[in-house]
Amino acid sequence: MNSHNDYDLYQAIAEKIQAGRTIAMATIVSTKGSVPRGVGAKMLIDPGEDLVGTVGGGCGEGEVIEAALEVIKTGEPQMVRVDLTEDLLSLSPAVCGGTMEIFVEAIGE
Amino acid sequence: MTDPGNKPLTVVEATAEVLDARQARHPMALIVGVSGAQELVGKRVVVRQARGGIKHLVGSFGDPDLDAGALALGTQRLEERRASTKGVYELKSASGSTVQVYVEAHYPQPDLVIVGAGHIAQPLCSMGALMGFRVIVVDDRPDFATQERFPEADRVVRVDFRDPFADIPIHSTSYIVLVTRGHKYDFECLRHLLKTEVEPPYLGMIGSRRRIRAAFSQLQGEGLPKDRLSRVRAPVGLDIGAETPVEIAVAVAAEIVLQWRGGTGKPMAEQERILERFFKDSEL
């Protein structure tokens, strides 16, 4: 069950490649504490086009998108550490209480 | 076994491996370098599992120790057969450098085989499909075993309960629920399933205490292995006080998730006891 939920995401990668897009893929590779999505959750970032999938909604996704744009520019993969432990009691919906490591890499020419 | 190419897979190749394995219903593990030795970051290899369980590496990190480590890691993850919270592991190369790799196992979509096409089967079929199972519903009654009654089912099959699984392959990803209209049919099906070469990961049977006791006593008398009998979920489902067919389907679906993910089946609040553990009496 775990894996086939990201089946569509792999399908989407294949389609983006087919369409000749240069995109970035973000994958949660490890987590600690309360985080919105688990290891393996993915998001494709196609600048100016769309986002496919999610690595946690408001929780740190801004940082990931920023890193994605840079990774597409430089071609160098990055590990983004998202810390969601601050302001645990704030009313922001983006607060979750854990940390996650997200691997961001470019796909395509 | 290392690919003669001696090179890591491109993202295009690795994506094709994931999609092909899915199509062929073969398990596979994807291994990606994520930190450490710079030249390996973003590089991929795949561990494929062929029929018969034999695993081999596709692509190469270009180092015998790393490739052996990757194959061992992929093999281990494929054999665990359940979702893992840990994704990153360390591999050491022959020259002593290290690389952290992210491992992602992909299994074929599991089957939910519902034997009996009655009032519990209908909501259970919907829930199974929602959870991502390939649902197969079987019954011997042509009026019940219809696609119209089970729109989300992958297959609805009319079978003879004397040999119910002649046409339904049972494998290591088959979750099976016996909910036929009569206990004797459930019993016949259970007897068949206790003799399959591959033991399904989940086998549940509905029934009263008295009938299940009689069934177990008979099957044990027939010399069926006690350890396999002991893993039969009968009566089927978690104890949530279910009464209606839909509630019973929820109880069964919950037990299936429990088996798949390896939970405790206890209420989260009882497990965590946050008030009790983190607040002094004076704070309450």
CA distance linking residue B192 with residue B167, whole number of Å: 13
* ipTM of the complex, rounded to two decimals: 0.84
Whether residues B171 and B56 fall in one domain: no
Nearest chain A residue to B29 by CA distance is A3
Structural domains of chain A, count: 1
Q: How close A67 gets to chain B, by Cα (Å)?
A: 15
- Listed in sequence order, the residues at least 6 apart from B76 whose beta carbon sits closer than 8 Å to its beta carbon are none
Whether residues B99 and B222 fall in one domain: no
Which of B13, B34, B135 to mutate to test binding with chain A, by most A CBs within 10 Å of its CB? B34
Q: In the prediction, which pLDDT does B137 show?
A: 98
Helices A7-18 and B11-24 meet at what angle, rounded to 10? 130
Whether residues B74 and B132 fall in one domain: no
Residue B276 domain flag = no
Q: Which helix (H) or strand (E) holds B60?
A: none
Interface residues from chain A to B (CB-CB < 8 Å): 1-5, 7, 10-11, 13-14, 17, 25, 27-31, 38-40, 77, 79, 101, 103, 105, 107
CA distance linking residue B47 with residue B90, whole number of Å: 17
Residue B273 domain flag = no
CA nearest A35: which of A85, A70, A80, A69? A85
CA distance linking residue B31 with residue A72, whole number of Å: 22
CA distance linking residue B67 with residue A14, whole number of Å: 26
CA nearest A80: which of A93, A95, A63, A94? A63
Whether residues B141 and B200 fall in one domain: yes
Residue A39: which of B87, B110, B132 has the nearest Cβ? B87
Whether residues B101 and B190 fall in one domain: no
- Listed in sequence order, the residues at least 6 apart from B229 whose beta carbon sits closer than 8 Å to its beta carbon are B194, B216, B219, B220
Whether residues B85 and B153 fall in one domain: no
Residues in chain A: 109
Judged against a pLDDT cut of 50, whether residue A4 lies above it is answered with: no
- Residue B84 φ/ψ, nearest 5 degrees: -115, 145
Mean pLDDT of chain B: 91
Question: Where does the pLDDT of residue A89 fall: very low under 50, low under 70, confident under 90, or very high at 90 and above?
Answer: low
Interchain contact, A79 vs B42, CB within 8 Å: no
Residue B85 domain flag = yes
Residue B1 domain flag = no
Whether residues B227 and B116 fall in one domain: yes
CA distance linking residue A93 with residue A54, whole number of Å: 16
Tokens of B130: 């929602």
Nearest chain B residue to A13 by CA distance is B15
For CA atoms B150, B155, B157, B163, give the dihedral sign: negative
- Span B186-244, pLDDT tens digits: 999 999 999 988 899 999 999 999 999 999 999 999 999 999 999 999 999 999 999 99
pTM score, whole prediction: 0.71
> Cβ(A27)–Cβ(B30) under 8 Å?
no
Q: In the prediction, which pLDDT does A2 show?
A: 39
CA distance linking residue B76 with residue B82, whole number of Å: 11
Tokens of B35: 């930190």
> Cβ(B132)–Cβ(B109) under 8 Å?
yes
CA nearest A106: which of A66, A76, A85, A62? A76
Whether residues B163 and B255 fall in one domain: yes
Q: In the prediction, which pLDDT does B145 show?
A: 96
Domain carrying residue B249: 111-261
Whether residues B180 and B240 fall in one domain: yes
Q: In the prediction, which pLDDT does B279 show?
A: 86
pLDDT tens string, chain B, 284 residues long: the values are: 444 567 999 988 999 999 999 888 888 999 999 999 889 999 999 999 887 778 999 999 999 999 999 999 999 988 876 655 568 999 999 988 999 999 998 888 889 999 999 999 999 999 999 998 999 999 999 999 999 999 999 999 999 999 999 999 898 889 999 999 999 999 999 999 999 888 999 999 999 999 999 999 999 999 999 999 999 999 999 999 999 999 999 999 999 999 988 889 999 999 989 888 888 766 55
Q: Could you say which of B106, B140, B174 is where a domain stops?
A: B106
Q: How close A18 gets to chain B, by Cα (Å)?
A: 9
Structural domains of chain B, count: 2
Interchain contact, B102 vs A1, CB within 8 Å: no
Whether residues B86 and B218 fall in one domain: no
Whether residues B200 and B120 fall in one domain: yes
**Which of chain B's residues have a Cβ under 8 Å away from the Cβ of A4?**
22, 106, 109, 132
DSSP string, B77-108: HHHH-S--S--EEEEE-TTS-EEEEEEEEE-P
Residue A104, helix vs strand vs coil:
strand
Residue B278 domain flag = no
Q: Could you say which of B106, B130, B161 is where a domain stops?
A: B106
Judged against a pLDDT cut of 80, whether residue A97 lies above it is answered with: no
Q: How close B34 gets to chain A, by Cα (Å)?
A: 7
CA distance linking residue B192 with residue B203, whole number of Å: 12
Residue B268 domain flag = no
* CATH number for B149: 3.40.50.720
Q: How close B219 gets to chain A, by Cα (Å)?
A: 32
Interchain contact, B106 vs A3, CB within 8 Å: yes
Q: In the prediction, which pLDDT does A90 show?
A: 57
- Strands of the sheet containing B134-139, edge to edge, are B155-158, B134-139, B111-115, B174-178, B202-205
CA distance linking residue B139 with residue B160, whole number of Å: 8
Q: In the prediction, which pLDDT does A37 show?
A: 83
> Cβ(B27)–Cβ(B49) under 8 Å?
yes
Residue B151 domain flag = yes
Whether residues B215 and B118 fall in one domain: yes
Interchain contact, B15 vs A40, CB within 8 Å: no
- Span A25-62, pLDDT tens digits: 999 999 888 787 888 899 999 998 889 998 886 667 88
CA angle, corner B111, sides to B250 and B213, nearest 5? 60
> Cβ(A38)–Cβ(A74) under 8 Å?
no
Which of B10, B13, B15 to mutate to test binding with chain A, by most A CBs within 10 Å of its CB? B15
Domain carrying residue A58: 4-107
